[in-house]
Structure 1
Amino acid sequence: MFSYILYGLVWLISFLPFRVLYIIADINYVLLYYVSRYRREVVRTNLCNSFPEKSLKEIVAIERKYYKHMADLSVELYKLWHMSEAAIRKRCVFRNTELPQKYFDEGRSVIGVLGHYGNWEWMSSYSLWENDADFLALYKPIRSKVTDRMMKAIRSKFGAVLVAKDDTLRVIARYRSEKKLFLAGFIGDQTPNVHNLNFWTRFLNQDTPVLLGTERIARKYNFPVVSVRMRKVKRGYYEVEFIDVCANPAGLEPGVLTEMHTRLLESFIREEPQYWLWSHKRWKHKKV
């Protein structure tokens, strides 16, 4: 019953104009940061470990900016449901689309690696900027069927093709057999489960396990890899930039490609740390 109530509530909220939604976001910020103190300890620990050179005052400043950004994300996600194409194109602008287009012109599909940075959910509007290839958005299905259906409706609003993570190889094989092009969005900062702690690197000053799925698929099929950076220009406005990582990953040694896209993500975070998902328990596994 709760899932149906949530579904209806989100559906109604998504009709509200941004000026009203951001009032809700401001209230959410106060509730999250000062009242419920949602994962404050996790965020503080992650920030202190990642930036030992920063003072407590600097850490707290980043922390507050992060919670304000997270409160914005909470309404921006749901607003997708009833945003117009004109509105999302104005608020989420894709720059240098000629980079992936160069590979599409060569008849090659592309892997785009991004993190939980900026507003990654608005990346699903990429299909409005590209006619020659589908945008495959990898996702983890939600246990609640009602909530899962809601999230799929929101994420596919602008033409993204949702692909459950377990179906990734099957869908890619189908696209290849049908000679259809795609840009597949891989999240590069997911936390591996305990059975997939196969590759470790230094990330934000800490030993960090990284999933190798992106690299394995890119090297297996020699898909070009681009890094995706989403900048927050101002409240409710983002710009997406594509950065070339590797045109021919099949020729790389194991681990090299993972290091390359991880270093890029780290550089984005260090430049503007408040826009990364600090409340995520990224370092729950320890290297032995």
Structure 2
Amino acid sequence: MKKLYYSFVFGFIHLISLLPFWILHRISDVLFLLIYYVVGYRKDMVLKNIKRSFPEKSDAEAKQIRKDFFRHFSDLMIESVKSATMGQKEFQKRYFITNQHLLNTYYESGKSIIILSPHTGNWEWIFSLVPVIPYDVYAVYQRLTNPNMDEYIRRTRQRFGAKMIPTTKTFRIITGALSKGEQFLTWFAADQSASPDKAVWVNFLNQDTSFHKGFGELAKKTGQPVLFLDIKKTKRSYYELEFHVIADEPQSMPEGAIVKEFARLTEKRIRETPPYWLWSHRRWKHKRK
């Protein structure tokens, strides 16, 4: 019965995804009104996060960022639905890398690399880039507790060729692939909260903030160069992406330096375009022991 229910839900999502963007944007407008004015989804938490991150902003400015965030959040949900049936040509028109040559240089030199991105702009569309970059792609993700949703997410994200790997198996899979001589790119959405005993602590947006240290440790262990993927929203459902080098030789960097540089570049993007980060995430739920 449950499987039948999810088949209906995913079938409905598929039908919605076939609609053109101009209709989907109208749906997003209605969705925003429901989320913001009727449901009030995490409005207090979002405002609290914004005020703590930008103490210099007035109450009116903080509330405007919150409102703009929920408009973007509604668009993001619609864009995620649309991605189920979007073709490669439409993705390339709306979501493209401005300095692709940097990836090509690393690939031609025979190096595997690690890409770190925050939850800014639209990170879900990253999987559309697989056909237009030279690398095979491993994407690290947190398994969902609902097996039906987990299967749907994996299937949607892998349809362009990415290989999804759960966080618990990352070290084993990546080191194993390197030992076989494979050349690939590993992508992390790396700005999620980490438990205190597994964290590098950084002053991030005026707050003591935990970041996962695993991707930094993986880079130092394997020697893979680390790049930051900056996702910039240029207009509604259009994004430009740019790579910045964090570490060419990670093994020579001090402990925690890769994580701290990632945090710095993430904060820079958030300060430039505040509404487009995932403020509804419980980012500061952990405290330093």
The interval holding the TM-score normalised by the smaller chain is over 0.9
Provide the rounded CA distance (Å) in 2 between the counterparts of 1:55 and 1:90.
Answer: 37
Counting aligned pairs with the same residue, the percent is 36
Q: Are residues 1:30 and 2:45 paired?
A: no
Shift in alpha-carbon separation, 1:253–1:195, aligned structure 2, 3 A: closer
Q: Are residues 1:174 and 2:181 paired?
A: no
**SS state at 1:201 partner:** strand
Residue type of the alignment partner of 1:80? S
Is the 2:196–2:210 Cα contact (8 Å) retained in structure 1? Answer: no
TM-score, normalised via structure 2 length: 0.95
**SS state at 1:82 partner:** coil
Q: Are residues 1:13 and 2:16 paired?
A: yes
Paired position in structure 1 for 2:155: 153
Provide the rounded CA distance (Å) in 2 between the counterparts of 1:222 and 1:194.
Answer: 26
Is the 1:230–1:238 Cα contact (8 Å) retained in structure 2? Answer: yes
Provide the rounded CA distance (Å) in 1 between the counterparts of 2:263 and 2:120.
Answer: 13
Is the 2:154–2:164 Cα contact (8 Å) retained in structure 1? Answer: yes
Paired position in structure 2 for 1:57: 60
Q: Are residues 1:113 and 2:109 paired?
A: no
Q: Are residues 1:94 and 2:97 paired?
A: yes
Provide the rounded CA distance (Å) in 2 between the counterparts of 1:259 and 1:226.
Answer: 13
Provide the rounded CA distance (Å) in 2 between the counterparts of 1:248 and 1:126.
Answer: 25
What's the CA shift for 1:193? 3.0
Paired position in structure 2 for 1:137: 139
TM-score, normalised via structure 1 length: 0.96
What's the CA shift for 1:199? 2.1
Provide the rounded CA distance (Å) in 2 between the counterparts of 1:42 and 1:5.
Answer: 33
What are the superposed Cα offsets for residues 231-283 of structure 1, whole Å, 9 maximum, x if unpaired?
A: 11111111111011110010111011111111011100011011000000000
* Aligned length, in residue pairs: 286
What are the superposed Cα offsets for residues 130-189 of structure 1, whole Å, 9 maximum, x if unpaired?
A: 13x112111112122221121112111222221111121222123213322111111221
Q: Following TM superposition, where does structure 1 have runs of at least 4 consecutive aligned residues deviating by more than 6 angstroms?
A: none
What's the CA shift for 1:128? 2.1
What's the CA shift for 1:51? 0.1
Provide the rounded CA distance (Å) in 2 between the counterparts of 1:286 and 1:73.
Answer: 29
Provide the rounded CA distance (Å) in 1 between the counterparts of 2:288 and 2:193.
Answer: 13
What's the CA shift for 1:194? 5.1
What's the CA shift for 1:3? 2.9
Which of the numbers 44, 48, 52 marks the counterpart of 2:47?
Answer: 44
Is the 2:120–2:231 Cα contact (8 Å) retained in structure 1? Answer: yes
Unaligned runs of 5+ in 1: none
Is the 1:118–1:231 Cα contact (8 Å) retained in structure 2? Answer: yes
**SS state at 2:285 partner:** coil
Unaligned runs of 5+ in 2: none
